[in-house]
Copies of this chain bind each other. A is one copy, B any other.
Amino acid sequence: MKIISFPERATWPALLARPVQSTEQIEAAVAPILAQVRQGGDAALIELAQKFDKTDLTTSGLAVSVAELDQAEAQLSPELKDAIRQAYQNIRTFHERQKQPIEKIETMPGVVCWRRSVGIEKVGLYIPGGTAPLFSTVLMLGVPAQLAGCNEIVLCTPSNHPAIYFAAKLVGVTKVFRIGGAQAIAAMAYGTESVPQVYKIFGPGNQYVTAAKMLVAKEGMAIDMPAGPSEVAIYADDTAVPAFVAADLLSQAEHGADSQVLLVSTSKRLVELVNLTLPTQLSKLPRKDLAAKALENSKAVLVETQAEAIDLLNTYAAEHLILSIGNAENVVDQIINAGSIFLGNYTPESAGDYASGTNHTLPTNGFARAYSGVSLDSFVKKITVQHITPEGIQHVGPVVEAMAEAESLIAHKRAVSLRLASLNEINPA
């Protein structure tokens, strides 16, 4: 890793900038695919699978059958099934506690307001194909969908890996389709003869999938969040174990050549030790070429003080932030921009990626400044409710009348005045 020592604050924005991806060309390629699926439905999906994936869906059909889903279990090792079940349980435990009881709040006597959490009726999950079957993401999206009580949970994936099907069954996915790419997003956004139209779309994907999600979002479709390459920032001091830091950096780097990896430290010794251990560890990885490329673009930044480190990390707003420092528990409350934070020597990012219970669908690309990761909240709407009694309207009514009149919305005022007048008639003062 390239070491940058004590950079001036003025250089931080350039130092921490993510690679800018031009989306225009990709959007131009994706827009006709969306239009084709919108108009052509299932037939368009079959045609596009043939064209882009050289896959013939006419015999297999778009939908994965219940029998096929049921058979997946037999194809997995007991060890893997147990692991998936344990991860499922931990994710469920963490997300279940995000449920909030209804609390009725009386803002004035007789004016009672509350919020109800209601699961989004129909949601769509996308899981990409490729070499790594992301069944962990099925859990991360499916568990909160299941807990939220979403009626219809649609999964589109070009992968037929049994672990994906097994996880889908575990989380109660209602329909699985063999559809990949931008056309999968289109199918769930607009609906086809086979694929139900959903109200919110979740999940990772390549640049085409991402562009498709952003384009349907512009039309009003809800999506989980905008996406970019995965990232980790590690803040380590002399209490950190260099080999662990190197392993965590590599576990991010193996995602792909565009993975963002950042090491921040006040200790030159630590940074040098990490750099020393990296090549040995790297050499043991099957995906060493990808990881090496990601490391080439990554940086180790030496700063003078802890305060400076915290400022820099808040400026960067990492998706994953590992605080491998002696006083991590104290520093955590000073972090205002991050997706998920990992404390101490024994909390690798990969624990959160799979099984500790937190969600791994997190804001990348600095989006952590405004966005949260996926949670139970992502799968519910909070509907406000209010009930005002005759006494209540006498308290809040005059306030509404004065404000509505000042906003020149006289019908708004009259809706209150009429009620107040009727009460005065019933109970003349």
Contacts and interface: CB of A to CB of B under 8 A. Distances in A.
A121 B337 contact: yes
Contacts of A332: 116, 385
A100 interface: yes
A281 B411 CA distance: 9
Given A393-B346, A402-B79, A411 B254 contact: yes
Interface string A363-405: 1010111111101010011111111111011001111101110
A414 B254 CA distance: 12
Contacts of A365: 220
Nearest to A420: B346
Contacts of A388: 344, 346-347, 351, 356
Contact of A399 (B83, B113, B368): B83
Contact of A403 (B84, B385, B392): B84
Contacts of A386: 340-343, 347, 351-352, 356-358
Contact-size category for A: 35 or more
Interface string A187-209: 00000000000011000000000
Interface stretch (A57-65, A133-141, A171-179): A133-141
A120 B314 CA distance: 12
Contacts of A98: 115
Interface stretch (A4-12, A41-49, A266-274, A285-293): A285-293
A147 interface: no
Contact of A83 (B281, B371, B402): B402
Interface in A4-41: none
Contacts of A291: 411
